[in-house]
Amino acid sequence: MGTITTAGFHFLFLIPTIALHAHASSQEAHLTEFLLSRKSRSSSGNTISHPTFHGGSVPVITNSLRTDEYPSSDHRTLKAADKISALPGQPDGVDFGQYAGYITVDGHNGRALFYYFVEAPSDKAAKPLLLWLNGGPGCSSLGFGAMRELGPFRVNRDNQTLSRNKHAWNNEANIIFLESPAGVGFSYSNTSSDYDRMGDPLTAEDTYTFLVNWLERFPEYKARALYIAGESYVGHYVPQLAATILAHNNNTGVMLNLKGILVGNPLLDVAKNKRRRYEYLWNHGVISDEVWADISSHCSFNGSSYGGMCHEAISKSYYTHRDLDMYNIYSPTCITSDNGSCYSSSQLPGYDPCGEVTTFAYLNRPAVQRALHARETKWRGCNRIFIGFKDSPDTMVPTLKWLIDHGLPIWLFSGDFDSICPFTGTRYTVRDLNLSVIEPWRPWTTGHEVGGYVQQYMGGFTFATVRGAGHTVPALQPERALILLRSFLKGILPPYKKA
């Protein structure tokens, strides 16, 4: 497997790439702002710059991959340099390897992606490799996925120390948290015009290049089973990356051992997501019958822009839920005082809605950035330059169909308290796939407690809900999220025990 640079490597296809609330975390508010920005686009604004296919044929790669071999000793040296001896404030007894650093994805432009890698505490050689991506678009997998959701540590309220997450996903897999695309978190490009053209195609291209080059640095993982997971706008990233990998596996000498994808509360179909969001709010008593009737009457959700009456109807709905976290309508919110301190509006065991504040403070400590081998900079959870993300088509259905046709297992899961990417919208997208049900809708459990509901379809496709979770399932229901991960990796449905 050769090291890849993307200079001279550009897809002439896009594998069907399709494609504010004050108290919401920046990742979540970022997605809201991105979705709202699409209202002003004309329908022609959704035309992507790469040819797409709509299922049935394999994407054609007309450019050959350019590989640059480095001596193996250089890879060993780079891996050793990425080894983290200890993160500032980490607890005693850390029993797993940690690495962090940069992988160059375009040497000509000076584009490099930052990663944080945690190995499994036990039996790491027998456990798979999992790549975790956060969405936005433009939000950090280090700051959200690793530090607030499924990573091994949580930042304590002192902004200085870390505590162990007993439901960390590296109990089940060796996990790469990737800050993608360039411009997110510590990832960067030395060519500013790269940010202007950043979108779904280049993100898939760069992430694929990252994986190939990362495996050169960590060759012991080359043959390991690879899974890709994430949440939110990753409903675009992950299917496109998976299709990119399968296309290259079929057309080049580079082989990645991709075994499946797992996406939580995914943005898959913009029109269905918009309509079902307001339907969800009405069904949960957040907006009135009158507001829902106005929205239903005046909004078609078929185009990218709203008419005046539709916009007016939707505006009324925002006045009715300004005191809720729309990404978890039953969770406490983070309240910031005039003096800059923050506190939770109510108590929910195991969940801190102000965790973003402590994470921001921790990752901006110079000692932490040095320990992570990051360029010292002002780290941000999300980058606003990606609100105008390029080539973000409206539906991922063609991509999902192509992946299913090519035998890739796909699992989707949804926290049932999320109104921004609600499970209702995902269900309608799943219906568009026209798959036969092989295991009908049923509850799954954690002991004798219902953890959610699940249904399995032909072609290795599974959809599950998680009770009591919002947009970021591992943050709100970490035990249930870990059960889903185990089931996904084993290829079996989560357990069901009758009381």
State yes or no: cis peptide before 366, omega within 30 of 0.
no
Domain-located, residue 327: no
> Would you say residue 24 has pLDDT above 90?
no
Does the structure show a pLDDT above 60 at 203?
yes
The whole-number pLDDT of residue 72 equals 53
CATH number at residue 35: 3.40.50.1820
Arithmetic mean of pLDDT, 236-250: 94
Residue 471 lies in a domain: yes
Domain that holds residue 233: 26-278+351-433+464-490
State the pLDDT at residue 354. Answer: 80
Highest mean pLDDT among 91-105, 270-284, 325-339, 392-406: 91-105
For residue 222, count other CB atoms closer than 10 A to its CB: 15
Phi and psi torsions of 131, nearest 5°: -100, 125
User: For residue 53, what pLDDT is reported?
Assistant: 33
What's the rounded mean pLDDT across residues 97-126? 97
In Å, how far are 148, 167, 323, 327 from 332, measured between CA atoms? 16, 21, 10, 11
pLDDT at 44 over 50: no
Residue with the bigger pLDDT between 317 and 499: it is 317
Q: Is residue 320 part of a domain?
A: no
Domain-located, residue 475: yes
pLDDT surpasses 90 at 28 = no
- Whose tokens are 């063609």? That residue is 398
Say what the pLDDT of residue 32 is.
73
Residue 232 has pLDDT above 50, yes or no: yes
Q: Please tell me the predicted confidence (pLDDT) of residue 31.
A: 76
The amino acid at 455: Q
**What mean pLDDT comes out for the span 44-48?**
32
Mean per-residue pLDDT of the chain:
85
DSSP state of 148: I
- What's the rounded mean pLDDT across residues 6-33? 44
Q: Using 50, 70 and 90 to split pLDDT, how confident is the model at 448?
A: confident
Helix (H, G, I), strand (E, B) or coil at 298: helix
**Which residues are part of the catalytic machinery?**
232, 418, 471
Say whether pLDDT at 391 is over 80: no
Structure tokens given for 142? 């280090």
**Percent of residues, the chain, with pLDDT higher than 70:** 84
pLDDT for residue 395: 92
Band (283; pLDDT cuts 50, 70, 90): very high
Residue 284: inside a domain, yes or no?
no
Q: Return the closest-CA partner of residue 103 out of 7, 216, 195, 12.
A: 216
Domain count, the chain: 1
- What are 349-372's pLDDT values in tens digits? 777 788 788 999 999 999 999 999
Better pLDDT: 478 or 58: 478
Res 239 pLDDT > 90: yes
Q: Which residues contact 26 (CB under 8 A, 6 or more apart)?
A: 139, 356, 380, 381, 382
In the structure, what pLDDT confidence band is assigned to residue 345 with cuts at 50, 70 and 90? confident
**Is the model's pLDDT at 3 over the cut of 80?**
no
What is residue 65's predicted lDDT score, i.e. its pLDDT?
A: 40
For the segment 36-44, the average pLDDT, to the nearest whole number, is 49
For the stretch 113-168, pLDDT in tens is: 999 999 999 999 999 999 999 998 999 999 999 999 999 999 999 999 999 999 99
Collapse the DSSP code of 366 into the 3-class scheme (helix H, G, I; strand E, B; otherwise coil) and give the result: helix
Higher pLDDT, 86 or 343: 86
pLDDT at 319 over 60: no
H helix or E strand, kind and range, residue 488: helix 478-490
Lowest mean pLDDT among 245-254, 277-286, 392-401: 245-254
Q: Given a cut of 90, is residue 335 above it in pLDDT? A: no
The per-residue pLDDT for 128 is: 98
What mean pLDDT do residues 87-91 have?
98
> Whole-angstrom Cα distance, residue 173 to residue 303?
41
In angstroms, the CA 196 to CA 193 distance is 5
Q: Is residue 338 in a domain?
A: no
In whole angstroms, give the CA distance from residue 249 to residue 216: 16
Q: What percent of the chain has pLDDT over 90?
A: 63
In whole angstroms, what is the distance from residue 373 CA to residue 368 CA?
Answer: 9
How many Cβ atoms are within 10 Å of 137's Cβ, its own excluded?
30
| 290 located within any domain | no
Is the model's pLDDT at 388 over the cut of 60?
A: yes
pLDDT confidence bin for 69, thresholds 50/70/90: very low
Which helix (DSSP H) or strand (DSSP E) does residue 411 occupy?
strand 410-415
Q: Does the pLDDT at position 183 exceed 90?
A: yes
- The answer to whether the Cα torsion of 29, 149, 395, 256 is positive or negative is positive
pLDDT of residue 112: 97
Residue bearing the bigger pLDDT, 303 or 183: 183
Within-domain flag for 406: yes
